Amino acid sequence: MTLSHPDSSQYPVESTLDRCIKCNICVTKCPVTRVTDLFPGPKYEAPQAGRFRNPQAHSPDISVDYCSGCRVCNMVCPTGVKIAEMNARARAHLVSDGKVPVRNRLRNNLIARTGLIGKLGQPIAPLSNVMLSNGIVRKGVQFVLGIHAAAPLPKFSRQRFTTWFRNHPRPTQSTRQVVYFHGCATEYYEPRVGRAAVNVLEANGFEVIVPEQGCCGLPLLSNGEFPAAHRYHAANVSHLAEYANQGIPIVGTSTSCTLTLKEEAPELLDLHEEDVQSVAQSTYDIHEFLLNLLYLKEMNLDLKPIPYEFPYHAPCQYRGHRLGIPALEIMRLIPGMTIMDGHADCCGIAGTYGYKVEKYQIAMDVGAPLFQFMNEAESPIVVCDSETCRWQITHATGKPAIHPIEILAAAYGFPVEEPLASIL
């Protein structure tokens, strides 16, 4: 017996195309269509073109590859058409049908395997960072692989998050347990985010469990590499299901990772096994989880004032959870702090999208309104939940970007790390 996902059926996403009423709201709101003619628009690529596709004769053309997968179309569609998912599956058909140029597919597979890159680059972090910041090396990589020389590559951390966690003293009075899904960015590039998350969860009375885990597989899904993404997701489910089946929640700080576990992988890969659904239904964004605690009057509200004003961007993948913006509600609990929401549609990076030489400028043009908002803010630091969005914002504005959980950890009185430490 299988369990149904609460927000979707067990039918292919293409079954929603007949809900399209041709209102064109998705086209007018699409941030990619707004800045380039290379992508004709969500309605044309998904429900309209989708009617001419079938398992025997796939007919997507290369223009569908210019969909960034930001999900803005899904969020504004009044009838619930799974537009972004249709485009992702059409891209997978391009890959399986051999319509993606060999160099592009090699490049896509490289940048989509973030866990592998982390395992190779992090142990030699100082050398890796010097090499990847060298202009000549970056231009060579652009020429050979098509990864734009100016794209915002993050710096490897000298220590993995899991190395820190193994040596982290466990609280002795925890009465509840929670699983932390850290994701590749926290493990290899920003372990400070994981440290903040663990501290916040422990401050709320939880024993934090960090089981074996790998890349969530979203970069592979976004690049049409579905068989590899299936293997990644199956591996994570095998590690997480035992906790989900015991009723232990799974909490993540990467909005894209949690959305992948909740929805993207099960829907795009047609996975409906009981363990898959159990993991999906047990997964929470960390601020979604904290907001639930607040509603249950179980959240620790002993917060120190932070008399500061921060500009904030809610990433597309976060809004794709269809939960509102829990991070805003939690941050507004901190005494003395003001959060300015930029209300921008998208930063443009879309995971690996903005790293590609043919899409780099599109990504920068999509993010231009957000970058203007961040530049006009007086704060030297900006706030965003998604790692790739943070890197893109810093790349475009020069302002360091932090995760909201870092501010909450500071409000609980935990040691403040850079870049937040520079202003608190």
Domains and CATH numbers, the chain: 13-96 (1.10.1060.10), 102-145 (no CATH), 161-295 (1.20.1050.140), 309-422 (3.40.50)
Alpha carbon distance 297, 167 (integer Å): 32
Distance spanning both ends of the chain, measured CA to CA: 53
Which of the four pLDDT bands, split at 50, 70 and 90, describes residue 296? Answer: very high
pLDDT of residue 173: 77
pLDDT of residue 6: 40
Q: Helix or strand or coil: residue 400? A: coil
Cα separation values, 254 from 178, 251, 382, 423, Å:
16, 9, 17, 24
Q: Which of 101-115, 117-131, 316-330, 358-372 has the weakest average pLDDT?
A: 316-330
For helices 135-145 and 125-132, the axis angle rounded to 10 degrees is: 80
Q: Cα–chain-centroid distance for residue 53?
A: 29
State pLDDT tens for residues 104-128: 999 999 999 999 999 999 999 999 9
Burial class (CB in 10 A: 0-12, 13-18, 19+), 22: exposed
Which of the four pLDDT bands, split at 50, 70 and 90, describes residue 424? Answer: confident
**Which tokens go with 162?**
């899991």
What strands, in cross-sheet order, belong to the sheet with 250-252? Answer: 206-209, 176-181, 250-252, 283-285
Judge contact between 303 and 332, C-beta under 8 A.
Answer: no
> In the block, which residue shows the tokens 């009075």?
173
How many other C-beta atoms are found inside a 10 Å radius of the C-beta of residue 176? Answer: 12
State pLDDT tens for residues 333-342: 999 999 999 8
Nearest to 31 by CA among 328, 403, 285, 316: 316
Q: Cα–chain-centroid distance for residue 85?
A: 15
Which of the four pLDDT bands, split at 50, 70 and 90, describes residue 60? Answer: low
Nearest 10 degrees: Cα torsion 65, 66, 69, 73: -120
In this prediction, residues 396-420 reach a mean pLDDT of 97
Pairing of strands 401-402, 176-181: unpaired
Cα separation values, 410 from 75, 111, 178, 414, Å:
33, 33, 21, 5
> In the block, which residue shows the tokens 């619930």?
80
Share of the chain above pLDDT 70, in %: 96
Helix residue ranges, H only, 312-352: 316-319, 326-331
Return the exposure string of 241-259: e unless at least 16 CB atoms fall within 10 Å of the residue's CB, then b: bebbeeebbbbbbbbbbbb
pLDDT of residue 59: 56
pLDDT score of 28 more than 80: yes
Nearest 10 degrees: Cα torsion 268, 269, 273, 278: -40
pLDDT of residue 7: 45
pLDDT of residue 1: 24
How many other C-beta atoms are found inside a 10 Å radius of the C-beta of residue 415? Answer: 10
Q: Which of 5-9, 126-130, 135-139, 160-164 has the weakest average pLDDT?
A: 5-9
**Which tokens go with 273?**
């096994």
Alpha carbon distance 13, 267 (integer Å): 7
Top pLDDT among 219 and 54 is at 219
Which of the four pLDDT bands, split at 50, 70 and 90, describes residue 291? Answer: very high
Cross-strand partners of 215: none
Query: In this structure, which amino acid lies at residue 405?
Result: I
In this prediction, residues 27-36 reach a mean pLDDT of 93
pTM, to two decimals: 0.92
Judge contact between 248 and 178, C-beta under 8 A.
Answer: yes
Q: Helix or strand or coil: residue 155? A: coil
State pLDDT tens for residues 189-240: 999 999 999 999 999 999 999 999 999 999 999 999 999 999 999 999 999 9
pLDDT of residue 44: 86
For the range 266-271, what are the long-range contacts, defined as Cβ-Cβ under 8 Å and sequence gap of 24 or more?
266/5, 266/8, 267/5, 267/8, 267/13, 267/82, 267/85, 268/13, 268/85, 268/88, 268/89, 268/92, 268/221, 268/226, 268/229, 269/221, 269/226, 269/229, 269/230, 269/233, 270/10, 270/12, 271/230, 271/233
pLDDT of residue 11: 61
Q: Helix or strand or coil: residue 195? A: helix
Alpha carbon distance 216, 270 (integer Å): 16
Nearest to 358 by CA among 104, 100, 141: 104
Which of the four pLDDT bands, split at 50, 70 and 90, describes residue 10? Answer: low
In this prediction, residues 369-379 reach a mean pLDDT of 95
pLDDT of residue 8: 43
Alpha carbon distance 63, 44 (integer Å): 10
For helices 404-411 and 286-295, the axis angle rounded to 10 degrees is: 50
